Amino acid sequence: MPKAVNHADLVGLLRDGITARGGKWADLGAGEGAFTLALADLLGPGAHITAVDRDRGSLRQLVEQMGRRFPQTGLDAVVADFTRPLELAELDGVVMANSLHFVREKRPVLANVRSLLRPGGSLIVVEYGSDRGNPWVPHPFS
C-alpha cells in the first residue's frame, strides 16, 4: 500500500518551481489547501497567496489552517471557478495542483492563467501521471 502524502512531500513537489521567497501567488483549485500550505511554507512570511476554489467549505477549512500554521503569510480565499477569467492582481506565480484534470478544454484556461502572471512569472502544474480518464482524473493532462 502506498504511503500517504504528507506536507513535506507536497513542499518537495513545489520546491523547484519557487525561485524566491515572498511575492504574490495564487493556488487555483485550492480545495482544502494542502498545496496552499506547502506554498506558504516555501514563500515564507510576508508572501501573499490567493486561494481560488468553488467550494466555500473547503476554503473555510484552509483559512483556519493558514491562521494556525502560517499566520504571517497573507491569504485571500476566493470562491470562484478558475476555468473562467479571474480578476486578480498581477501574480509572481500560480500553482495548479491536481486541478487541470477536471478541465476538458485546457488551452483557454491556461491562456487565462497566463494573463494573470507578471512577465517572467511562474506556473507550477502538479498532475497525476495518467493517460486515460477515470472517475478521479476525468481529463488527464498528458
Structural contact between residues 140 and 131, judged by C-beta atoms closer than 8 angstroms: yes
pLDDT tens for 11-41 read 998 999 999 999 999 999 999 999 999 999 9
CB 28, CB 110: distance < 8 Å: no
Q: Identify whether 62 is part of a domain.
A: yes
User: Is 35 a member of any domain?
Assistant: yes
Is 89 among the domain residues? yes
90 in any annotated domain = yes
Specify the pTM. 0.86
Q: Is residue 48 within 8 Å of 24, Cβ to Cβ?
A: yes
CA neighbor of 44 nearest in space, from 16, 12, 10, 73: 73
Range of the domain at 80: 7-14+21-126
Q: Does residue 133 form part of some domain?
A: no
Which pLDDT does position 35 carry in this prediction?
94
Is 93 a domain residue?
A: yes
End-to-end CA distance of the chain: 25
Average pLDDT on 51-60 reads: 97
Report the 10 Å Cβ neighbour count for 70.
20
Cα 133 to its chain centre, rounded Å, is: 22
Say if 38 falls within a structural domain: yes
Q: Is residue 43 part of a domain?
A: yes
pLDDT band at 105 (very low <50, low <70, confident <90, very high): confident
**What is the average pLDDT across 55-59?**
97
106 — pLDDT class (breaks 50, 70, 90) = confident
Number of domains into which the chain is organized: 1
CATH code of the domain in which 79 resides: 3.40.50.150
